[in-house]
Chains A and B, each alone.
Chain A
Amino acid sequence: MEYQPVIGLEVHVQLNTSTKIFCGCSTEFGSQPNSQVCPVCLGLPGCLPVLNKKAFAYAVKVAMALNCRIAEYTKFDRKNYFYPDLPKNYQISQYDLPLGEDGFLNIRQNGNIKRIGIRRVHLEEDAGKLIHVSDSSLVDFNRTGIPLLEIVSCPDINSPQEAYDYLISLKQIIRYLGVSSCDMEKGILRCDANISVKRQGDSELGTKTELKNMNSFRGVREALDFEIRRQVKLLENKQRVIQETRLWDAQKHMTYSMRTKEEAQDYRYFPEPDLPPFIIDAEMQREIKKSLPELPQAKELRFIQDYQLSEYYAHLLTSDREIADFFEYCVKLYPQAKVLANWMCGSLLAELNSRNLALGELNLSPENFVDLIRLAQEGKVSNVVAKGVLRDMIDTGQTAGEIIQKKNISQISDPDALKEIIDIVIKENEKSVRDYLGGRENAIMFLVGQVMRKSKSKANPKAVLEILRSRLNK
């Protein structure tokens, strides 16, 4: 029997403002516990929360970028529950009038575009952090009140890979906006998943479970994958799926039931009386809209059109705004876009990946990068050597010219300079010479290889081939 998974994701993203959502406490990560708190975020009596303008603008930006309908009138509500990470015993959140609704984002599935609906985007405050030790739990309220954006998808996701692609796409968009790093390993982005399976073609949904405790995009994909197989197996064996919350164990590679009494949550939402309503009028909308950058998918299309790049290259180059900006800066200095794209997607991205660094963390200027490409294109250094030069440039911060001069690795194309090495290679490899003269065309490539080796890759292989041909064919 074929089963179809039905998945909805609930994502929480911390916004990177300098201060908390309702008070001026710093949002800096890693400070001494409880050193960034005040009467407002501790919920002491008599204090008044005031909304951070930047957090609000950031939230509206994200909602716009996700194609949401922006609320003209939005408000905050109290969500009441008791938990030690919540000092006020309620969280300021948004209930019936979220700031954004009915949006979507596109993911790519085997070359096709699939639209995933966004049900709502709303702003709330983060809770504190609990650390469980043997005999007690420790509470740090530094995180309490960090602006948190909740983004809820429609149940339009039908495979673990689609869920993964949705998260990648969401992260790209939010990073383009510059409002969050979306680093899931650091807990800046968190994701819970609702998942059920139904028989292919059935209109009725199956019983869902809620998955928590995933701490990477891959973890989300793996947890969903496990959970689908678990649910299908239950149904195949004529058993029932129980509606419950399950936790992902990344080590054991399985989900397990939280086994708590799941009483129906009763949050008793009511309008937050300490905050006024917020009106997002046409002018505010226009102003925020104006500040939206070109988003990844639009940029990708433009790169294909403007620079005649392949979809693959355009996609890679626009995956990160910093990389895209670097490319466009370089292309102004060196208009051969395809050569540039080739260098960036090949050597440069490989250097970034192997160092696990972002482009901005390398000391490589577009000017120096373009200089290197120019030297390689002009044949001043061989392509192989140029790749090594790039590595040295990144390590030392020196220019290509400086490294090539210091290491004496300019490409040798001058026939007189190559003559000596070629003479030696011909003398040392009589058999290959005979093979070539006897009609084995390939044997000459072996000789070229030997010259390259003896010249420490400095010889220009094209020039070597030409000289060898004319010498041997005499």
Chain B
Amino acid sequence: MAIDKETVSYVAHLARIRLSERELDLLSRQLEDIVNFIDKLKEIDILAVKPTSHVLPIKNLFREDKPTKSLNINEVLNNAPSQRDSFFVVPKIIE
């Protein structure tokens, strides 16, 4: 499967990654190799195999609805580049 530069730059946009023209070139070639490698899986007959949504043989893990202690608010905001009145502050979102 060919991965063109447009696809790479679309995926980069979805992940909010900025790529230079050179990186786009490089990555589309590398991604193509990776996808081709993965494509080998298509050759296996999996008709009788259920889709795996979890790799461990576990199910129904629950916790009880019992409150636990939340973080101290100073710790919460400790790494925030900007804060005000115990809010995180981000650039204005216009919708």
Contact = CB atoms under 8 A, between A and B. Distances in A.
Whether both chains belong to one complex is answered with: yes
B11 to A, nearest CB: 9
Contacts of B69: 24
Given A136-B90, A137-B92, A271-B54, A37 B62 contact: no
Interface residues on B, range: 35 or more
B3 interface: no
Contact of B63 (A36, A50, A140): A50
B90 to A, nearest CB: 4
B65 A54 contact: yes
Given A38-B70, A42-B76, A132 B87 contact: no
Contacts of A273: 54-55
Interface in A245-261: 258, 260
B47 interface: no
A275 B61 CA distance: 8
Interface string B2-45: 00000000000010100000000000000000000000000000
B64 A53 contact: yes
Contacts of B77: 34
A268 B14 CA distance: 9
A140 B60 CA distance: 31
B56 interface: yes
B61 A276 contact: yes
A135 B54 contact: no
Contacts of A18: 65-67
Contact of B67 (A26, A33, A37): A26
Given A139-B90, A271-B54, A24 B67 contact: yes
A52 B66 CA distance: 9
B86 A35 contact: yes
A23 B67 CA distance: 8
Interface in A340-361: none
B16 A50 contact: no
A138 B54 contact: no
B65 A137 contact: no
A136 B89 contact: yes
A53 B14 contact: no
Interface residues of A, number: 50
Contacts of A275: 54, 61
B87 A139 contact: yes
Interface string A218-230: 0000000000000
A278 interface: yes
A84 B93 contact: yes
B16 to A, nearest CB: 6
Interface string B65-95: 1111111010011000010111111111101
A116 to B, nearest CB: 30
Contacts of B63: 24, 50-53
Contacts of B49: none
Interface of B: 14, 16, 53-56, 58-71, 73, 76-77, 82, 84-93, 95
18 contacts: A25-B68, A32-B73, A35-B86, A37-B76, A38-B70, A51-B61, A53-B62, A84-B88, A84-B90, A130-B93, A131-B87, A136-B90, A136-B91, A139-B88, A141-B88, A258-B95, A273-B55, A277-B59
Interface of A: 17-19, 23-26, 32-39, 42, 50-56, 75, 80, 82-84, 130-133, 135-141, 258, 260, 266, 268, 271, 273, 275-279
**Top 9 nearest A-B pairs by Cβ distance?**
A24-B68, A138-B87, A53-B62, A54-B65, A271-B53, A139-B88, A50-B63, A84-B90, A276-B58
